[in-house]
Amino acid sequence: MPKNISWRKLVQKLRKLGFDGPYSGGRHLFMIKSEFKIHIPNPHKGDISRHLLAEILRQAKILPKEWDNV
């Protein structure tokens, strides 16, 4: 299971995996990669919990092994 991560690091790693953004839209920001549009939390002081990160990766169809190698 992934570890807690800062918002900035989350965006950097998603970009390395081919996602564009973040873009504003509604209540949360989102990032796009071909047909995938994933919502990410708004920037805040604390880290993103590993449970929320796991949910984001699941929706983006990113395997934990792939995430760890970025």
Residue with tokens 């983006």: 60
Instruction: Identify the pLDDT of residue 43.
Output: 86
Residue with tokens 């792939």: 66
Instruction: Identify the pLDDT of residue 64.
Output: 86
User: Once rounded to an integer, what is the mean pLDDT over residues 1-8?
Assistant: 84
Query: What are the extents of the domains in the chain?
Result: 7-68
User: Once rounded to an integer, what is the mean pLDDT over residues 8-25?
Assistant: 94
- 41-63 confidence digits (pLDDT tens): 988 888 999 999 999 999 999 99
Instruction: Identify the pLDDT of residue 11.
Output: 95
**Domain 7-68 - what CATH class?**
alpha beta
